[in-house]
Amino acid sequence: MAGTGYTDLREKLKSMMPYRDGHKGGGGGGGGSLPRDPPEPPYDRKRRHQEDSGSEPSDYEEQKEEEEARKVKSGIRQLRLFSAEECAKIEARIEDVVSRAEKGLYKEHTVDRAPLRNKYFFGEGYTYGSQLQRRGPGQERLYPRGEVDAIPEWVHDLVIRKLVEHRVIPEGFVNSAVINDYQPGGCIVSHVDPIHIFERPIVSVSFFSDSALCFGCKFQFKPIRVSEPVLFLPVKRGSVTVLR
Instruction: Report which of 31, 41, 17 is spatially closest to residue 80, judged by C-alpha positions.
Output: 31
Active-site choice (126, 128, 143, 182): 126
Give backbone dihedrals phi and psi of 16, rounded to 5 degrees, phi first: -90, -35
* Percent of residues in the chain assigned helix, strand, coil, to nearest 5: 30, 20, 50
90 touches 158 (CB < 8 A):
yes
Instruction: Quote the CA–CA distance of 3 and 227 in Å, as a whole number.
Output: 6
Q: Give the ranges where the chain is alpha helix by DSSP (H).
A: 9-16, 45-53, 59-74, 84-102, 153-155, 161-165
Residue 126 appears among annotated catalytic residues? yes
Give backbone dihedrals phi and psi of 45, rounded to 5 degrees, phi first: -65, -40
Instruction: Quote the CA–CA distance of 29 and 199 in Å, as a whole number.
Output: 15
The total of other beta-carbon atoms located within 10 Å of residue 143's CB is 16
Instruction: Report which of 192, 206, 209, 210 is spatially closest to residue 238, judged by C-alpha positions.
Output: 206
Query: Where in the sequence numbering do the catalytic residues fall?
Result: 126
